[in-house]
Structure 1
Amino acid sequence: MTSYLPAGWTIEQIRTLSQDRSATPLSLDRLVVVEQPGQNEYMTLRPEAVLGFHDLCLVLDDGEWYMGQLGTDGSVVCWASYGPDLAEAIRNL
């Protein structure tokens, strides 16, 4: 199982900014999808990083951070892009 932190970030920086001492990088070996407004289909993401914050996740795909929910099976369903700035995405947790 491979997990990655985004370039230039440490887990301590992420935990401090999020105020979540349990924040952790998660394995990339999982299904990650994003809801498509007005469509019944999900778009599959190919995560470069997945950060877990209790049952919420931030997923990096193609330079964009997506917010999502961690499922009991380990999959992630995202509902919105929070843009390219990880610090801003963390502030919106």
Structure 2
Amino acid sequence: MSHDVGQLPEGWTLTRVAEVAVAGSAKLLPLDRPVFLHAPSGDLEKVPVSLIIQIGDLCLARDARDGDYLMGQIDDSGAVSCWSSYGDDLAVALRAL
């Protein structure tokens, strides 16, 4: 299993992420953590990701297919369970936290 982590967009640091999110801290999670999106049908869709950021109890995962940021939480199994997409602008997604 790989423990690689994604790279923040150019110009971003974890300190800046925490500041924009108005949070105490932020950390990058390994990309081998499963990420799922709740589909409108009620099914869970496994999402390939290029970045997972944990900010407090919430996570933002960047969908590797289109660059959109998905918001969710780590569930009891350790996977990130996401409920919505917040577009491809990290600042907008962080402000939605």
TM-score scaled to structure 1, two decimals? 0.90
Query: 2:33: which partner in 1?
Result: 30
2:24 to 21, 25, 46: 21
Selected match of 2:8 from 3, 6, 9? 6
- Secondary structure of the 2:49 match is coil
Equivalent position of 2:59 in the other structure: 57
SS at match of 1:48: strand
Q: Structure 1 vs Structure 2: percent identity of aligned residues? A: 36
Q: Which amino acid aligns with 1:16?
A: E
Q: Where does residue 94 of structure 2 map in the other structure? A: 90
Aligned with 2:32: secondary structure? coil
- Count of aligned pairs: 92
Question: Does the CA-based 8 Å contact 2:4-2:30 persist in structure 1?
Answer: yes
Equivalent residues of 2:14, 2:25 under 8 A apart: no
Match of 1:80 in 2: 84
Structure 2 unaligned blocks of 5 or more = none
SS in 1 for 2:77: coil
Structure 1 position 73, deviation (Å)? 3.1
SS in 2 for 1:69: strand
Gaps of 5+ in 1: none
